[in-house]
C-alpha cells in the first residue's frame, strides 16, 4: 500500500532499486558518435525482442513516432491513421510541422483500422491529391481503453498497405501490455509492420525513453531525424541502463496491472452514475463514463469525483467533461485498488 494511489497514468512509475543501481554503474560513451555501449545493448535487445534488424533509443514515445513518420515519408504525402490515435491527438502535429505530411484520420469502431478502411483511404494517382505515404496503427489503444489488436488483424491491414507500396508503422507505446494480455510474443505484433516504437517509461517502469525498431536502413534514416529534432543524447547509457532492466525484468509482471485494472473496472461498473465498457478492459486502462444526470450535472459530478478522490489521496484523470481514465501500473498494488474502489463508492453513494 502506498501513501498516495496515483491512477492518472503509467508514466508516473518510479524506477526500481535495480534500475537505479544499473544507472549508477552504466558504462557510457557519446551516443551521437555511436560510442555508448549500454545504448547499443538496449537497441540490440529491443530489436531482437521485436524481430527487427535494428533499434533506436529515443527520449519518448512521441519522439519515436515523429522520427518514424518523417523517416518513412516525403513532404506532401498523406498519413492514414485512426481518428482517436495518439499521433493525431496528442503529439502537437509534429508529423505535419516537421515532416510536412497531411494526416488523414479515419473513424474506427474500437481504434483499429480495418483492411477495408485502409483500402478506401489509399489515394489514387491524381495530380490534385497527396499520395499515401504511411499507415499508422496504435496497439494497445489509449483512448479506447487499452484495447489490443491481435497480430492477425495487423497482418491483414499491412497486406493491403504493402500491396499499394505503403509502409506501416505501429505506435506500440504499450505493445508489451498487448503481448502479455493476448499471450503472444512481442515479435508477432511487429512482424508485418515496417517500424514499431514502444515505451520503456510506461508499464515497464523505466524513468525515460522509448525504442524505435525496424530495418537497418530505416533506422539510419530515423537516427538522422532524431538528430534533427534535438534528440541526439550524449552519455545516454545512464538512461538506457534502466531500459535494459525494464525489458529484462518488468514484462511478465504487467499481468498484475491487468488484473488490478479488471478488479477496479468491475467494482466501478456496479456504482450509480458510472459506466465502464468491461469488454474494453483488456490491459491496464479503465475508461469511466460519468452520467448521474444531464450533461451539465455529469460534468459537475466528474469534477467533484476527481476532487473527492484527490482529497482521499487517490489521483485520477479527467479526460473530458464526463470521462475519467484510470491506469494501473507497478506502483499500484491490490490494497491501493481497494482504497480507490472505496473512494469511488463513498463519493457515488451521495448521488
Q: Distance (Å, rounded) from C-alpha 53 to C-alpha 212? A: 11
b/e burial code for range 233-269 (CB count within 10 A of at least 16 → b): bebbbbbbbbbbbbbeebbeebebbbebbbbbbebbe
End-to-end CA distance of the chain: 29
Of 153, 104, 149, which Cα lies nearest the Cα of 131? 104
Residue 2: the pLDDT is 87
Q: Are residues 218 and 340 in the same domain?
A: no
Q: Are residues 227 and 317 in the same domain?
A: no
Residue 293 has pLDDT above 80, yes or no: no
* DSSP-based three-state secondary structure for 325: strand
Q: Are residues 323 and 276 in the same domain?
A: yes
All three cell numbers of 125, joined, read 494517382
All three cell numbers of 252, joined, read 511478465
Give the domain-ending residue among 219, 249, 279: 249
Residue 232 has pLDDT above 80, yes or no: yes
Residue 131: the pLDDT is 98
Q: Are residues 216 and 185 in the same domain?
A: yes
Q: Are residues 36 and 120 in the same domain?
A: yes
Q: Are residues 220 and 286 in the same domain?
A: no
What CATH number did the domain enclosing 113 receive?
A: 3.40.640.10
Q: Distance (Å, rounded) from C-alpha 134 to C-alpha 169? A: 7
Integer angstrom CA distances of residue 255 from 2, 138, 150, 278: 20, 20, 17, 17
Q: Are residues 79 and 171 in the same domain?
A: yes
Q: What is the 3-state secondary structure (H, E, C) of 32-45?
A: HHCCCHHHHHHHHH
What average pLDDT does the segment 68-88 reach?
98
Residue 1 has pLDDT above 80, yes or no: no
Integer angstrom CA distances of residue 95 from 68, 69, 107, 120, 297: 9, 6, 19, 22, 38
Give the domain-ending residue among 249, 264, 282: 249
Q: Are residues 269 and 206 in the same domain?
A: no
Helix runs in 106-150, H state only: 115-121
What CATH number did the domain enclosing 260 receive?
A: 3.90.1150.10
Q: Are residues 273 and 217 in the same domain?
A: no
The neighbour count for residue 206, using CB atoms within 10 Å, is 26
* DSSP-based three-state secondary structure for 289: strand
Q: Are residues 275 and 320 in the same domain?
A: yes
Per the document, the length of the chain is: 351
pTM comes to: 0.96
Q: Are residues 236 and 325 in the same domain?
A: no
Residue 70 has pLDDT above 80, yes or no: yes
Catalogue the E-assigned strands of the chain.
Answer: 5-6, 54-58, 78-82, 102-106, 132-138, 168-171, 195-199, 210-214, 274-276, 285-290, 314-315, 317-320, 323-327
pLDDT in tens, 138-160: 999 999 999 999 999 999 999 99
Q: Are residues 99 and 81 in the same domain?
A: yes
- CB 67 within 8 Å of CB 58: yes
All three cell numbers of 194, joined, read 515496417
The neighbour count for residue 195, using CB atoms within 10 Å, is 30
Residue 296: the pLDDT is 79
Q: Give the H/E segment covering residue 68.
A: helix 61-72
Number of domains in the chain: 2
Residue 130 has pLDDT above 90, yes or no: yes
- CB 47 within 8 Å of CB 54: yes
Residue 156: the pLDDT is 98
Residue 65: the pLDDT is 98
Q: Distance (Å, rounded) from C-alpha 74 to C-alpha 107? A: 24
**Domain around 97:** 17-249
Give the domain-ending residue among 207, 232, 249: 249
Triad 299, 270, 331: Cα angle to 5°: 80
Amino acid at each position: 500500500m502506498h501513501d498516495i494511489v496515483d491512477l492518472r497514468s503509467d508514466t508516473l512509475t518510479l524506477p526500481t532499486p535495480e534500475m537505479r543501481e544499473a544507472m549508477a554503474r552504466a558504462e557510457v560513451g557519446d551516443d551521437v558518435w555511436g560510442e555508448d555501449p549500454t545504448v547499443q545493448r538496449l537497441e540490440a535487445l529491443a530489436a531482437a525482442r521485436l524481430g527487427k534488424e535494428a533499434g533506436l533509443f529515443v527520449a519518448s514515445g512521441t519522439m519515436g513516432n515523429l522520427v518514424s513518420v518523417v523517416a518513412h515519408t516525403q513532404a506532401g504525402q498523406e498519413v492514414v491513421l485512426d481518428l482517436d490515435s495518439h499521433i493525431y491527438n496528442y503529439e502537437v502535429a509534429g508529423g505535419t510541422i516537421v515532416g510536412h505530411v497531411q494526416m488523414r484520420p479515419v473513424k474506427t469502431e474500437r481504434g483499429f483500422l480495418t483492411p477495408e478502411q485502409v483500402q478506401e483511404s489509399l489515394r489514387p494517382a491524381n495530380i490534385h491529391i497527396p499520395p499515401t505515404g504511411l499507415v499508422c496503427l496504435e496497439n494497445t489503444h489509449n483512448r479506447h481503453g487499452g484495447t489490443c489488436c491481435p497480430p492477425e488483424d495487423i497482418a491483414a491491414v499491412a497486406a493491403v498497405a504493402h500491396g499499394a507500396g505503403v509502409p506501416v508503422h505501429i505506435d506500440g507505446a504499450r505493445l508489451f501490455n498487448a503481448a502479455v494480455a493476448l499471450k503472444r510474443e512481442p515479435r508477432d505484433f511487429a512482424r508485418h509492420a515496417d517500424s514499431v516504437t514502444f515505451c520503456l517509461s510506461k508499464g515497464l517502469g523505466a524513468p525515460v525513453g522509448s525504442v524505435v525498431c525496424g530495418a537497418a536502413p530505416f533506422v539510419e534514416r530515423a537516427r538522422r531525424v532524431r538528430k534533427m529534432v534535438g534528440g541526439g543524447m550524449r552519455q545516454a547509457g545512464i538512461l538506457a541502463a534502466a531500459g535494459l532492466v525494464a525489458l529484462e525484468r518488468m514484462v511478465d509482471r504487467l499481468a498484475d496491472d491487468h488484473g488490478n485494472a479488471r478488479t477496479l473496472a468491475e467494482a466501478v461498473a456496479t456504482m450509480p452514475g458510472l459506466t465502464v465498457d468491461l469488454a474494453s478492459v483488456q490491459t491496464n486502462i479503465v475508461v469511466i463514463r460519468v452520467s448521474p444526470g444531464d450533461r451539465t450535472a455529469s460534468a459537475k459530478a466528474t469534477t467533484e469525483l476527481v476532487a473527492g478522490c484527490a482529497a482521499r489521496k487517490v489521483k485520477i484523470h479527467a479526460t473530458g467533461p464526463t470521462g475519467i481514465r484510470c491506469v494501473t501500473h507497478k506502483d499500484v498494488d491490490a490494497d491501493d485498488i481497494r482504497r480507490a474502489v472505496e473512494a469511488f463508492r463513498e463519493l457515488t453513494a451521495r448521488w
